[in-house]
């Protein structure tokens, strides 16, 4: 069974641009969540989707948005990029997103904002 | 406000000895806790979990202890192996609802052969 796939692996953007990251969950997994990892901050929850609906959202500005498609694939978008958005963005999937389910993570997209 | 704290950024242990990684949390409503391990250039992988109704959970060389009154949990690895060298994240979930995991900042474990 293929794992969680995130594309692209690396991205370099400049301030003010926007970026779209993609995530394909494990087959059969319907919950997809996104996390931002920065040095010293650990993983910060961005949002969680299930059946194309955002069920939970973290404390990030509205520049961060996402969506989920009918095949459970998900994208996240960051508009008007700032230097502080440089981070590793991780996608994780689980069957239904229950709180006692373990998450399966992709390898992440490393975003650098110059 | 860091609700899950891992106060030791790094830890070095000799191969064969016990590794103890600590985690403190401030939100007494958390009721499900997990540990994840992360190697460089890879996403985190699940290691072990514990529900708040328990105080200990074992899986092979890994044991997690939960002290609810102290809002503290720890991960014990016995015996430690060089392949255990990684960053370990403590994580917590609130009851009900859906996935919105709160992670700690991680502890980098180095197991010295």
How close is the nearest chain B Cα to the Cα of A34, in Å? 10
The average confidence (pLDDT) of chain B is 95
Longest Cα–Cα distance in chain A: 39
Q: What is the tens place of the pLDDT at every residue in B73-102?
A: 999 999 999 999 999 999 999 987 778 899
Q: Are A92 and A109 in contact (CB under 8 A)?
A: no
Q: How far apart are CA A46 and CA B38, in angstroms?
A: 19
* B94 Cβ under 8 Å from any chain A Cβ: yes
Question: For chain B, what percent of residues have pLDDT higher than 70?
Answer: 99
* B34 Cβ under 8 Å from any chain A Cβ: yes
How close is the nearest chain B Cα to the Cα of A16, in Å? 27
Q: How far apart are CA A50 and CA A25, in angstroms?
A: 11
Q: How far apart are CA A74 and CA A65, in angstroms?
A: 11
Please give the residue that has the higher pLDDT: either A1 or A46: A46
Q: What is the tens place of the pLDDT at every residue in A14-37?
A: 999 999 999 999 999 999 999 999
* A59 Cβ under 8 Å from any chain B Cβ: no
CA angle, B88 as apex, B85 and B91 as ends, to 5°? 165
Nearest-CB residue to A45 (from B34, B43, B101):
B101
With an 8 Å Cβ cutoff, are A106 and B34 in contact? no
Query: pLDDT confidence of A100, banded at 50, 70, 90?
Result: confident
DSSP state of B25: E
Using a CB-CB cut-off of 8 Å, the residues of chain B touching A66 are none
With a cut of 70, say whether residue B32 has pLDDT above it. yes
With a cut of 80, say whether residue A38 has pLDDT above it. yes
């Amino acid at each position: 069974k293929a794992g969680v796939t995130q594309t692209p692996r690396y991205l370099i953007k400049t301030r003010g641009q926007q970026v779209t990251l993609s995530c394909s969950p494990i087959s059969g997994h319907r919950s997809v969540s996104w996390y931002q990892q920065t040095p010293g901050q650990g993983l910060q929850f961005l949002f969680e989707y299930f059946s194309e609906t955002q069920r939970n959202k973290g404390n990030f500005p509205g520049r961060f948005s996402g969506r989920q498609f009918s095949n459970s694939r998900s994208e996240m978008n960051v508009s008007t990029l700032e230097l502080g958005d440089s981070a590793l963005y991780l996608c994780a999937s689980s069957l239904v997103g229950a709180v006692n389910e373990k998450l399966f993570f992709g390898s992440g997209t490393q975003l650098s904002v110059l | 406000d860091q609700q899950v704290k891992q106060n030791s950024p790094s830890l070095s242990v000799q191969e064969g000895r016990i590794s103890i990684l600590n985690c403190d949390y401030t939100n007494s409503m958390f009721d499900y806790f997990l540990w994840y391990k992360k190697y460089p250039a890879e996403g985190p992988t699940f290691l072990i979990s514990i529900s708040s109704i328990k105080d200990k959970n074992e899986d092979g060389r890994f044991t997690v202890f939960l002290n609810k009154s102290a809002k503290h949990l720890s991960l014990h690895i016995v015996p430690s192996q060089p392949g255990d060298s990684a960053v370990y994240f403590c994580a917590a979930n609130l009851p009900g609802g859906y996935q919105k995991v709160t992670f700690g900042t991680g502890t980098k474990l180095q197991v010295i052969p």
